[in-house]
Amino acid sequence: MDLFEAIEKRASVRSLRPVDVPDADLERILDAGRRAPSGRNIQPFEFIVVKDPNTIRKLAKAQSCVGDVSVLIAVVADPTKSTYWLEDLSAATENMLLAITALGYATVWVEGTLLRAEEEHKKVLGVPENLRLMVVLPIGKAAEPVAQAPKRPLPEVVHWERYGNMQR
Ligand SMILES: Cc1cc2nc3c(=O)[nH]c(=O)nc-3n(C[C@H](O)[C@H](O)[C@H](O)COP(=O)(O)O)c2cc1C
């Protein structure tokens, strides 16, 4: 799948079913994450790959669909390393979302529900105190066909030359 198709097909899939994800695919996804741009190229993010069903079950307390897969990637970052840690981590996450989609899997950016009990989830994964655990990406297949949520049309979000000029 080419990049533009992956951008168009990427959707938040919350109805997931488990699927075998070969390590070669996992490495391509993780490689896409590590290649993300980061402020001053500090790369303050790291990834935790989780396959252990017990650990996955514990993380599913954040959001139940996390428990419906056989592998997930957790994204952590060190806020003391860069002012841009959140942007950097987000860029890495988006790269991985697109790679997951391009390889034919489905996922969802789990952050809001995870952060409600971040400390508890950090303990589950043994994440050091000074790091933030921001995102979990469960990787599975879509249990049913899913489309990307509706987006604002281009003419509504693009300004030409000056803010407010919506005509090309
Ligand atoms: C910062 C951020 C946090 C998010 N947190 C959650 C979450 O905790 N749980 C969830 O199901 N989706 C989460 N999402 C996914 C959004 O709900 C989703 O991207 C949005 O509804 C648009 O749908 P789409 O991804 O299909 O375009 C998050 C997305 C972002 C960018």
> According to the CATH classification, is domain 3-157 in 3.30.70.270?
no
Residue nearest to atom 25 of ligand 1 (CA): 12
**What pLDDT was estimated at residue 87?**
98
CA angle 117, 122, 124 (to 5 degrees): 100
**Interval 63-121: pLDDT, tens:** 999 999 999 999 999 999 999 999 999 999 999 999 999 999 999 999 999 999 999 99
When the pLDDT of each residue in the chain is averaged and rounded to a whole number, the result is 98
Residue 136 β-bridge partners: 74, 110
**What is the mean predicted confidence (pLDDT) over 138-154?**
97
- What is the spatial distance between Cα 77 and Cα 46, in angstroms, rounded to a whole number? 6
CB 86 within 8 A of CB 16: no
Give me the pLDDT at residue 3, please.
Answer: 97
Q: What is the mean pLDDT of residues 125-151?
A: 97
Output phi, psi for 92, to 5 deg: -65, -40
> What separation in Å is there between the alpha carbon of 110 and the centre of ligand 1?
7
> Is residue 6 packed enough to be buried (19+ CB in 10 Å), middle (13-18) or exposed (0-12)?
middle
Measuring from each residue's beta carbon to the nearest atom of ligand 1, which residues come in under 6 Å? 11-12, 14, 63, 108-113, 148-149
15 contact partners, CB below 8 Å, separation of at least 6: 65, 68, 142, 143, 144, 146
Q: Report the C-alpha gap between 133 and 48 in whole angstroms.
A: 10
- The percent of residues in the chain predicted with pLDDT above 90, rounded, is 99
% of the chain with per-residue pLDDT over 70: 100
Q: Where are the domains of the chain?
A: 3-157
The number of the ligand 1 atom at minimal distance from the alpha carbon of 148 is 26
